[in-house]
Amino acid sequence: MRGPDHVQRPAVRGGRADARRRLGGRAPVPGGVDLPRSARRRPRPPARKGRPVSGWLLLAIPLGGVGAVVRVLATQLGETRLPGGAPAATGVVNVVGAALLGLVAALGGDPAMLVLGGGLLGGMTTFSTWMVEADEAGRTGPARTALVVVVLPLVLGALAYAAARAVA
């Protein structure tokens, strides 16, 4: 590349477009050696032989979808019934999810519990929506509102997780 606009402007390229046409659409390989496209590719590594995909993992995927649907329905219900609207509803869903995850964590590392925690509860709780709502709260209102939207669910979620884990 001769300059910052070398790739974008054909006149600056110095004839590479002509060389590409002569090579049947292939770009010349640096160093002047022209190899067919298939010869330039690295060979694929051999397939790993190991354990097949666990049935638990295959179960976690649809449970994540179920958790997401539960979150959407709970958030829609909470938006109309909670005084804080959408941020409050998302916060409640995340705090409930943290408490349930505390119960799951207390019950041990059984694969069923890991699938329940990672699949269903991972799909139910949401970090991205929480942060988008905090950003919107900061843009449309005072900064302390955004701070409350971030800090309150975080503290309540940590307390709910610890309490549920201690109880179980």
> Cα separation of 33 and 39, whole Å?
12
The pLDDT score that the predictor gives to residue 84 is 85
pLDDT of residue 58: 85
Residue 137 token pair: 């709260």
Q: What pLDDT score was predicted for residue 168?
A: 82
pTM: 0.65
In this predicted structure, what is the pLDDT of residue 1?
47
- Tell which residue, 142, 86, 98, has the closest CA to residue 124: 98
Look at residue 30 in the predicted model and tell me its pLDDT.
Answer: 58
Sequence ranges of the domains in the chain: 10-38, 55-167
- Alpha-carbon distance of 86 to 148, in angstroms, equals 14
pLDDT along the chain (168 residues), means of 10: 48 51 55 59 70 78 93 91 90 95 88 86 91 92 92 96 94
pLDDT at 112: 83
**What's the chain's length in residues?**
168
**End-to-end alpha carbon distance in the chain:** 64
